[in-house]
A and B are shown apart, each in its own frame.
Chain A
Amino acid sequence: MRIFQTHIYIISIIFFFINVCRSEYSSEFHFPNEREEIIDGFFSKSRHTNNWAVLVDTSRYWFNYRHIANVLSIYRTVKRLGIPDSNIILMLADDVACNPRNRFQATVYNNAERKLDLYGDNIEVDYRGYEVTVENFIRLLTGRHLPDTPRSKRLLSDDRSNVLVYMTGHGGEEFLKFQDTEEISSYDIADAFEQMWEKRRYNELLFMIDTCQASSMFSRVYSPNILATGSSQTGQNSYSHHLDPELGVAVIDRYTYYNLETLEYVTLQSQKTLQYLFNTYDVSLIHSTPGVRHDLFERNLNKVLITDFFGAVNNIELTLKGYKLSRGSENDIPDIKQNTIRDKSDEKIEKINHNNDDHLIPRNEYKMIKVDFKKSAMVSPLFLLGSIALISGIIFISKIVN
């Protein structure tokens, strides 16, 4: 009897707890007025919930080793600070790690002492070689991909993403060279960023660029919440830092090198701000004047953490209550399914790319023809009849006309 009673007690306590918990997590129970602010208060002050990084190297050939080292240094920093590979789009225009000219295969160093290999054993390059083109870059930023583009090649950011866009290569006034054949202008980048803003594909964007005359590249940007920094002003060149005599090429650029001097000491918990990073820029060391453009950025740079852009610091707060999120205000653009974007311009793009002309045989037929090497020409008898008819027709008409 006593055992039975204790059993009942236990079961009833379990039922009670279950009910309590269920009711606590039930969706009907919420504070109607302050839910958004409370939820926002849980996340970091910059309102972002996830981080993306787009790291682009635009130069090819072995002597541009340092550009790839630049990008890989930032890649390593960003990975170390928590952004996973699925949120990083890495574009390398050439393969230097496994290049036959590389004395140290499968490695990329950004320092002549070769203490730290940037390539590592866990790297995913999303766009490599010939795929690094202006068209692919703008498609990536705007999200207007051709169908069948795999997920790892898409920038699936939303309106709560902080995006870091880092570009390096050879550039000039208001342009950046892609693979020595084409160029992207500052207007293109500004328009791409504006499209991103209109589609709400970023919360805040840090655009960092290390080329000659870098500041001209972001001079045309006009969308809000964009912070931009470049390695030199218009009319100035950017320089490489040092070269490795065994590799035979320069291994890092000055601007990125001095950025890394600061970034290497940033940890996940670090509270260092971007203003601190920008204050460390020393013109006498970098040999060019880095530019910072913050007029479109609403927050004060003293309040922006480095890890807001370079890391993915997820604050996790445990709550006992549940909060229902509203669907968003009416001003927001409705959710666009990025996988199935097919507006008319996309079809036009597909046509230009896939050369949809009418060809002699239908494009998709694989028609293997069997060849017999014996001569078997068939001059159809109709043809002979036709030619005889033509000749007789000429003679006949000549009799009539003349």
Chain B
Amino acid sequence: MFKKKIISISSFIFAYFTIFSIINVVYGENVYSDSFSEELTMKNLSETEILAVFNFTQTMDLKEDNKITSYYQLFPRAIGQIVEKYHVKEFHITFTRGSWNSYQWGLNTLPVPVGVEFYAYFDANYDTNENWSGLANAISGVFCASVNYIDRSKSAKPNYSFKPSGSYNEEEKIEMRYGSLSHEGVCTENLTPWIKLLPCQSKMGIAGLLNNYKLFDTNYYSMMAHLIPVCIDSECKHKQLQLTQIISTVFDNKRISKNGNKSWSTESLFGKKISSYCPVSTNSKIKIELNDSDGENNYRLIQSPSRFESSTKDTKYAVYDLISKRYDNLNIGVNIINEKNIQPIQKNIGLEVYRSQSGFAEEYGGFVVTMKNNNIDKDLSITYFDIIPWFVNIYFNSFKIQNTKVKDYQNDQYVNEFYYEPAIEHVNPTILEMKMIIPRDSTTTIEFDFDKKHLLYADYPPDCARGFDVGSAVVTVHNITLGEGYLYPTEDFIRIYTEPIVIILPAPDFSMPYNVITYSCTIIALFFGSMYNAYTRRYIPLVVEKEEKEKGKNETQKIPPPKDSISATEKEEKDKDK
């Protein structure tokens, strides 16, 4: 009787444990502390241009002392290990090709320069310079790009133009480094590893729409990865690392659409359909931003959404929640009926910035930066930040900062601060950072001259006839808040990038180093030989024998004959010459 009880109890316990473990295995997703969410927002920027912004966010909790755990679940180990090794607090890298047309499309809410922009914040307790070069090398391996070329000769440490996006305690000391490569191309080999950082990669979820053939056929393509620390609790005792991967691209429907009509769908743009959401994501949404001012007459949605959300009074989002409602082979799109009311994402803030090169030919030139404040009612407080490589010599006495409205602009009231770091050949570039106020309805012009340097043979790239690149300058506008619809975490400043510039430097002839060396050495030898001859040899008279009439020089070494050997006639001839 007693034994039976024991047996029954033990079998119950056994069964309980079995069922418990089975339940744990089945409901596996609750085991992760990492989280992942995916989102796609699409909107018409004009009747035939469609903006698509992919946003993939992953988070990973940090341990007590803000150290990275060694137990990686969803968060990519490649990024985590790099961040740990180089004491990185946050980093931002963007790859861009094409240009954002701000006239028609409004402000770019994810501002990027062309090429690669890369900046990071480090723990200042360690050697930041070494960590910066180490991080650049490691990131170049992760993203298959030549980011390792961002070394001291292209990096800067700006003071005002960039602010850390993550949350930090007071006692944390961080140091920032910034670099950019404007000539770096973006292609499938950068997209492939970028997708591999996602937990579901492109097999499931919204990332399944990423079709490189379509993405690289766009007018504007920008791919980013941002890693920032985020506080979990209000006192910021516990933090988590947040890796946000964004692709922002603008499709040109004129070229892509087959019949020429203005409708679009995910299938027509990406060529693929979404099978299902990524199982480990907590949030999987596709939003289409619609203009709502006139009611329902502007568009017709192909699929009805899960719900509608309104952001501002004029715009609303059609939200397709892939988790709550199961869609099979989802094709989402819009048939446009009335295209007159398409608004840009964010109205321009009224600042137009251009940077161009003045002068021609390969001896000297200049830069001209024009900043136009179109606001009638508002002065803008900006910071202009520029990295000019060391292969041009900037003349600081040629700096002219002028304004169309203010006569004496170059004083403390308007040009608040002017920082620069002079260039040293082969070591670091010229870095300019200026804080200024642009009065309302005026244009500020910054002009300065430079000399183009002649470089060593080895400093020229293989295709030097193309020219050398100067990266985009960054104009940061302070004390601006944007309304709803800004796709990136809200901050109180925005950045505008200028165009990059190509400077053509005079190049030597690369095909004949040996010839040059031999010619120069020949001239030196000629000099040396002639002088040596002149110094070590001497003139002696040549005696002509009376019998022979030879006039050979150099072979006869005659000693000067006695004086009576000279005929008188010769002497008279000589006197006559004089």
Q: Which chain A residues have a beta carbon within 8 Å of chain B's beta carbons?
A: 1, 3-4, 7, 60-61, 95, 97-99, 105-107, 117, 119-126, 128-131, 148-153, 179-181, 355, 359-361, 363-364, 366-373
Contact = CB atoms under 8 A, between A and B. Distances in A.
B417 A4 contact: no
A123 B190 CA distance: 9
A121 B188 contact: yes
A106 B152 contact: no
A331 B193 CA distance: 41
Contacts of A119: 187-188
Given A98-B97, A123-B188, A124-B192, A363 B152 contact: yes
Contacts of B463: 60-61, 179-180
A347 to B, nearest CB: 15
Contacts of B187: 95, 97-98, 106, 119
A106 B216 contact: yes
Given A129-B184, A369-B419, A370-B417, 13 more contacts: A95-B187, A97-B216, A106-B217, A117-B213, A119-B187, A124-B192, A129-B185, A150-B142, A151-B141, A152-B142, A355-B426, A363-B152, A366-B156
B315 interface: no
A17 to B, nearest CB: 19
B421 A368 contact: yes
Nearest to B145: A128
Contact of A106 (B134, B212, B396): B212
B493 interface: no
A63 to B, nearest CB: 13
B144 interface: yes
Interface string B157-189: 101000000000000000000000000111111
Contact of A150 (B138, B418, B428): B138
A359 B193 contact: no
Contacts of B427: 355, 359, 363
A373 B188 contact: no
Interface string B421-441: 110101110010100000000
Contact of A121 (B134, B211, B433): B211
Contact of B418 (A61, A95, A373): A373
Contacts of B156: 366
A57 B501 CA distance: 29
A130 B462 contact: yes
Contacts of B419: 368-371
Contacts of A128: 144-146, 189
A125 B418 contact: no
Nearest to A181: B462
Given A98-B186, A106-B217, A121-B188, A181 B149 contact: no
B133 A148 contact: yes
Nearest to A151: B141
Given A106-B188, A124-B193, A130-B146, A98 B216 contact: yes
Nearest to B190: A125
B487 to A, nearest CB: 25
Sorted from nearest, which 6 A-B pairs have the closest CB atoms? A150-B141, A98-B187, A179-B462, A106-B216, A148-B137, A366-B157
A152 B417 CA distance: 44
B148 to A, nearest CB: 8
Contacts of A122: 192
B355 to A, nearest CB: 20
Nearest to B201: A122
A150 B157 CA distance: 25
A371 B7 contact: no
Contacts of B217: 105-106
B552 interface: no
A124 B166 CA distance: 31
A360 B142 contact: no
B188 A150 contact: no
A130 B461 contact: yes
Interface string B460-471: 011100000000
Given A95-B185, A98-B185, A368 B420 contact: yes
B382 to A, nearest CB: 18
| Interface band, chain B | 35 or more
Given A130-B149, A363-B152, A371-B418, A124 B462 contact: no
Contacts of A369: 419-422
B528 to A, nearest CB: 31
B510 interface: yes
A373 B410 contact: yes
Contacts of A152: 141-142, 144
24 contacts: A95-B185, A98-B186, A98-B187, A105-B216, A105-B217, A107-B213, A120-B188, A121-B191, A121-B192, A121-B202, A128-B146, A128-B189, A148-B133, A149-B141, A150-B137, A151-B141, A355-B426, A368-B157, A369-B420, A369-B421, A371-B396, A371-B419, A372-B418, A373-B415
Contacts of A120: 188
A359 B424 contact: yes
Given A179-B462, A369-B420, A123 B3 contact: no
Contacts of B134: 148
Nearest to A121: B212
B129 interface: yes
Contacts of B137: 148-150
A368 B431 contact: yes
Contacts of B7: 3-4, 7
A104 B211 CA distance: 14
Nearest to B418: A371
A124 B138 CA distance: 15
Given A105-B216, A121-B192, A150-B137, A368 B159 contact: yes
Given A148-B137, A355-B426, A1 B213 contact: no
B381 interface: no
B140 interface: yes
A368 B193 CA distance: 36
Contacts of B431: 368
Among B187, B426, B427, B431, which residue has the most Cβ atoms of chain A within 10 A?
B187
Contacts of A355: 426-427
Given A98-B187, A150-B138, A369-B419, A125 B157 contact: no
Nearest to A179: B462
Given A1-B3, A120-B188, A148-B138, A371 B420 contact: yes
A380 B381 CA distance: 38
Contacts of B422: 369
Contacts of B188: 97-98, 106, 119-121, 123
B185 to A, nearest CB: 5
Among A97, A148, A359, which residue has the most Cβ atoms of chain B within 10 A?
A148
A99 B187 CA distance: 9
Contacts of B418: 370-373
A106 B213 contact: yes
Contacts of B510: 181
Nearest to B156: A366
A71 B221 CA distance: 27
Contact of A180 (B144, B213, B462): B462
Contacts of A180: 462-463
Interface in B376-430: 396, 410-411, 415, 417-422, 424, 426-428
Contacts of B216: 97-98, 105-106
B474 to A, nearest CB: 15
Contacts of A61: 463
A129 B116 CA distance: 14
Nearest to A368: B419
A42 B428 CA distance: 57
A76 B145 CA distance: 20
Contacts of B433: 368
Nearest to A367: B421
Contacts of B411: 373
Contacts of A367: 421
Interface string B500-544: 000000000010000000000000000000000000000000000
